[in-house]
Homo-oligomer: A and B are copies of this chain.
């Protein structure tokens, strides 16, 4: 089929859907590209919302990256407030209520929701999710009228929200079942400075407690009841796991994987011919463990959208297994890493040892210098680095990108131990912290011989 009369439909207007649509249109200018989204907006940065709530960023308007008119101008038919209610794989249409739209290529980019806990009182007024910008604008106004907040779950979003609401001056409680922050993915020593920083901002963290009930009065939230006691509050934010938004795909018969994400191959093709998926609704292969994972970053969604959009438009492009560089700010501390940390390697029974050191980000005497903690998780047989976790005051994102790139290409601790590095007092120390961690690992190995 020539791209001249190709009808491409994209479901979802987030990073995955928008990049898919833009790429399809760019590789197949003659195709008709239609994007359906149930929401009022596209092309904004949901990741920026916690920081507007924390008043780090002065207003929500800044989070918009493009106007809907922009997409019209590049020839994309953007349908806002238009929820696709069903997919017909045989008839090759999508339904919007009674109306049907035909497609030759379909790209599913329906994203995720934060999992709604099955708990009494979960529908009370005062319980919020932080994801959609319109709801966030409303929530921001509510926050002006309240004093006490409970944040449920020390996930990345939960930590960002806690830090920002504490920074805003609210009494903020973070409630989590784990023994430390982000205990399912991060190592305790990496998260410790974040915890300290959140507490310095005034947040109260409740570890090892389960939420039992949201308790209200006249339909309005009044407290959160946990195994550790009852916490009075005016509002609560639920920041639980990201759950793929795959109801209509499942109902249509698109194959769903073990993570709840849509199964795709290395071209972002689903189990159904001419149907692609991208972003948080899909699962992709993890480069280190070879298992499917789901719920990555907006950057991943964007890249997957590009691959899906190119292939849907007739230009072949592949998507590699992911090594997942990640990073974020919790309180005033930057943390990040690549793939899995020490805790998960242990939990999964993957043979490993840890090469770790604490270095500095600038010359010791230079203003703004901060400690940089680097942990490399290393294969004891090959000395290849399998994963990394870091904390520090600056430069964590760049180091995570570097390590992900190198780990993907099989770098060993010997490579990092003797790496060259920039030395200049205002921007870099004599010895790069990654090199120090690798050297410490080699020194440990030498002792054992």
Give the B-binding residues of A (Cβ under 8 A): 15, 45, 47-48, 51, 56-57, 62-63, 65, 297-300, 302-303, 320, 322-329, 334, 336, 363-367, 394-402, 404-406, 409, 411, 415-416, 418-428, 430-432, 434
Contacts and interface: CB of A to CB of B under 8 A. Distances in A.
Nearest to A426: B329
Q: How many copies of this chain are found per oligomer?
A: 2
B418 A325 contact: no
12 contacts: A48-B366, A48-B425, A51-B426, A56-B366, A299-B431, A327-B428, A397-B421, A398-B398, A400-B422, A401-B432, A405-B416, A409-B409
A329 B51 contact: no
A45 B397 contact: no
Contacts of A299: 420-423, 430-431
Given A326-B422, A425-B47, A405 B402 contact: yes
Contacts of A396: 422, 427
Contact of A329 (B300, B419, B421, B424): B424
Nearest to A428: B397
Nearest to A299: B423
A430 B18 CA distance: 13
Contacts of A329: 424, 426-427
A400 to B, nearest CB: 5
Given A323-B420, A397-B421, A401-B419, 12 more contacts: A47-B363, A299-B422, A324-B420, A325-B420, A325-B422, A329-B426, A334-B427, A394-B394, A395-B397, A395-B398, A398-B398, A404-B421
Contact of A327 (B404, B406, B427, B431): B427
B57 A366 contact: yes
B300 A420 contact: yes
B48 A423 contact: no
Contacts of A365: 45, 48, 57, 62-63
A432 B401 CA distance: 9
A279 to B, nearest CB: 13
Interface centre among A45, A420, A421 (most CB of B within 10 A): A420
A447 to B, nearest CB: 13
A65 to B, nearest CB: 7
A432 B299 CA distance: 9
